[in-house]
Structure 1
Amino acid sequence: MDDWFLCYKDKSELPPLDFNATCMKHGRYVIYYNERLKEVTYPDSYQIPTTTELCEVIVHGCAKKGVYGVNCDLPCPVNCQEQRCHIVNGSCLGCKPGWTGDTCDKQCDPGFYGENCQKHCKDYCVNATCNRTDGGCLAGYIQENKPEKVDLAHGKTSYQTLSAPLDPQDPTRFISSNAVDRDPSSCTRNYEIGRTSPHTSVLWRVNLGDIYSIYSIRILFKDYGSVYEKRQRGRFAGFSIHISNSTDRDNWFLCYKDKSGLPPLDFSTTCMKHGRYVIYYNERLKNITYPVGYQTTIITELCEVIVHGCAKKRVYGLNCDLPCSVNCQEHSCNIVNGTCLGCKPGWTGDKCDKFCSIGKFGIHCKETCSGHCLNDTNCDHVNGSCNKGCDNGYTGDGCIKSCERGLFGPDCSQKCSINCHTPNECTITDGSCVCSPGWTGSPHCNKECDEGFYGENCHAHCRDYCINATCNRTDGNCLVGFIKGNTFEKEIDGEEGGHSDANKIVQKDTILYQELHVIENESAYQELHYEKNPYENLESTVN
């Protein structure tokens, strides 16, 4: 869906059932899409819900590729990217590298190259001129500017364990920096390790000064000539090389591990990694049987450790002149093919050039969006935030937090009605609630009962014995007074001592007054007179 190109969007007017639209684009798929989203107000004439019934979808266009015009018989310009051009006027939808202009008929100006001539020739090209297609230098390189592979370890800070005692005549004879001085005649030296020593391991490392893209590592081990070659190779055997961004061993990355064969004293290996520290490590553990040829008690003598890689960061390629993808984690990529060693949050793919799929975000695209972004829009592929806001009832950057009690609506910015039956409780989306007695109105209980009604949702009528049929909108008590001789309903318990609603019955009594008097409410009665036979007076009157 991220690759869709909008051709037409129907708006508020109702479309004809036989619909046509002009859409001059190139593509393989034609997609019809419709939706009815919750909590979206659509025009009155829209059907909600809706059913889709497509009888025909007719797509007119050129059957041949690379042509345009009324009869699809005019060839697109030869420099159009993929020979694609506008079906009416023939303008290119994109140019091949090295060309620009509406019809891609203009070569790149000097100093520029690539698609639409948007890239500058490298500053190490003589006269800043390059091939307009791929950017290769036409007149050669300026050597001092060329970002080729270099020795990253030369002269850098080094460290070793178990350094041999200083020679009073030559204090620098065995120090760790001898391995990065580029003088093969000066070497490091350590105390022996192994079966006849209290020590079992030895370490040497160089600090490159920053995190670099490494290509290869070469080690020159001390060579005393053919007589001692086997002994020296046996001392060298079993070593390992590690790359790390810190000195913490838990963060070491194994670059190479020597196995059963005896290594040459001039050793090289490819190690395409990124790191700040290059570490040489060897050990001779007690009670371990080592392969034939291994020296079980060893002295380490490193004459040179050469680390080749790109002097510039964030680049790769034969000449270290191609930029790593901006979405590579720490801008680090494989020094040969440019594949990222890891992606920034929100990106995926070998070169981290693809968004997370819909509904996902974060590192390795493993995080899931909340699902509460406004109108079901997708969350931000990097941090999961909802850039267009939250659905009603949710708040926070990622819309993961529902409204607190008493709040509702967009970003939880509205308060529940004080007329809700349970104070500060309402539906977080629209604020609807059960109304307190005396109030009605959907959804916010913002309307008082009409005159003559009371109770929950104003469903109950005021008693007919209330003067003017008016009563308290909450409990139904007469506001003005009672009319003499009318009837009312009185609730009594169905069984002695019982108070449940199921046990209540309704009994109608006739209230007779000795005289007509108006009182403010029922509680103001001083006396109620019930006659044993309330119908006797009526009978005598009739007779």
Structure 2
Amino acid sequence: MIVQRIVGHVNSNHVTKLMALARVAVLKDTLEINVTKNGSCVLGCKPGYDYRNSTNCIVECDPGYYDDCTKECGPCTQQPCNKTDGSCTGCCAEGYTGDKCDLTCLKGYYGKNCSEACSQNCKSEYCDPQNGTCVLGCNPGYDYSNSTNCSIECEPGFYDDCTTECGQCEVQPCNKTDGYCTGGCAKGYTGDKCDQDCLNGYYGKNCSEACSQNCKNETCDPQNGTCVLGCNPGYDYSNSTNCSIECEPGFYDDCTTECGQCEVQPCNKTDGYCTSGCAKGYTGDKCDQDCLNGYYGKNCSEACSQNCKNETCDPQNGTCVLGCNPGYDYSNSTNCSIECEPGFYDDCTTECGQCEVQPCNKTDGYCTSGCAKGYTGDKCDQDCLNGYYGKNCSEACSQNCKNETCDPQNGTCVLGCNPGYDYSNSTNCSIECEPGFYDDCTTECGQCEAQPCNKTDGYCTGGCAKGYTGDKCDQDCLNGYYGNNCSKECSQNCKNETCDPQNGTCVLGCNPGYDYSNSTNCSIAKHVHRIVRTNLVTPRMGLACLDVILDMIIKTAQTAQLNANPDFTIIVQRGVGNVKCNHVTKLMAIARVAVQKDTLEIHVTKNANLDFTMTVQRSVGNVKCNHVTKLMAIARVAVQKDTLEINVTKPLLTVTEIKKLLTPVQLLEV
């Protein structure tokens, strides 16, 4: 490029390489240069335009930037700043000042245009230029934690940064700035700030008083002089906390420790030493040690008796406190100088066992000569075991002794003999029972068919004699039975079915109808006789009613004649259109049959209980009465003309079979 000045003469030339379009305007006598090639501004843009984004300088700076668009605006309150020179048209933001608001507040100022002064209580009077916060904290005496601009003083009792407590001033509070106690210190403290404890050995106001020399380590409470570690030996803290009182006689050290057993009291109050020596039974510098085991007396110079148990004795008088060694008598000699009397051993209260030759060993009780009969063991103090007897229990009891137990000395069976052996004739149970006896030989055998019975249990191995039963044949036959083992039944014709248990003879006689004189077992019946005759058929009695009454009479007659002890009454009455059946029990007479007019009345009695059923039915109308019975005989009924005849006999037939025999009934039906 060649630049020449138009007005006047320009002789100098200027050559450059241009990278953009440039336009230079020179007013008046200024030089205006227009250079074009591709339109770039070769000398850059005027302030406020962005050459980086436009080489021909047609793009303004972004908001917040000015001059060549690389400089940021200051913190103006009204953005953006002037794009040409960066000036703020409004005020600066808090903490800034200057035309461009690019200067921070000077130290000690803050706020808009730095117009406000920092608090004087701010450390170094320095605060945050925007909000006035004391960024370095507060001056001493002001509380930053409660006021960041340090406008609040410390609370009473605190100073400096308000977290440090005042010392122990006599008059509170301390100076809030430096913590000094202007009124002096409380007792037990010293220093400008009264924050130092008294030195060891001193106490009181300003630590001006010395602790008692009797305090342990000369250490006392810094406020009141109390000996906090206690007293030196020989002084009583419990009665004087400043250790001005000595121990009472008989005590030493801290005045709670008793003196030892000095021969002459008291001991030294400081160390407890017995300067005059020890009493009997004690030793050591302080006389607080018992004599060693085996010694007693003054200074423990005497030995205990060797007969003392563990050689231990009373340390003062030598008494054997644990007793004597075995073989010595403490009750007669407390120092164990006397032996046991004969027949006793150990502590002389234990008797010897059953030695064959007395006495036993006084120490352990052993029988050196052996045991008397019935005893065993080293000391012969154990009875023989069950089943043995004699010297040293060497002999066995008889096996015939009950439980094989016998007298441990002589072998006598003390519980008696086993069954089958006779103790009365042999106390060692060597003799069996005589024939006919068993068990302990005093119990007789039962009625065995072949004697004798078993001597042990009495059983009859060959069975029982006639009339007896049971394993031992010692039970009579039950009523109604007889013969070997009571296996046969008495005749049913025997009265009460009772017969001789051996031969079956009816001992009470026969039931009615049987002849005892011709047959002692009542097997022959007597001649049949008529029980009752009466007219049964009347004009008003039908055949059906007669048949019912006939059944009733047959059953009644059978029961009355043959059942054991039936007691009852049956009354049958016939009326016009009605039949009634009544039953009354327990009558004590024989059977009687009576017919009066149209009424049939039957009375039957014996002397036993009865169970029966009777059925009565009438062809005209309905009346039903049931009666159940066990019949012991057969009945035969014969009707001759107008007479009903009832005969009772054996063997047993049913009522149906009886009715089949009634030919007269068939005639009546015709």
More strand by share: 1
Question: Which structure: larger Rg?
Answer: 2
- Relative to the length of structure 2, the TM-score reads 0.25
Structure scoring higher RCO (CA < 8 A, sep ≥ 6) equals 1
- Relative to the length of structure 1, the TM-score reads 0.30
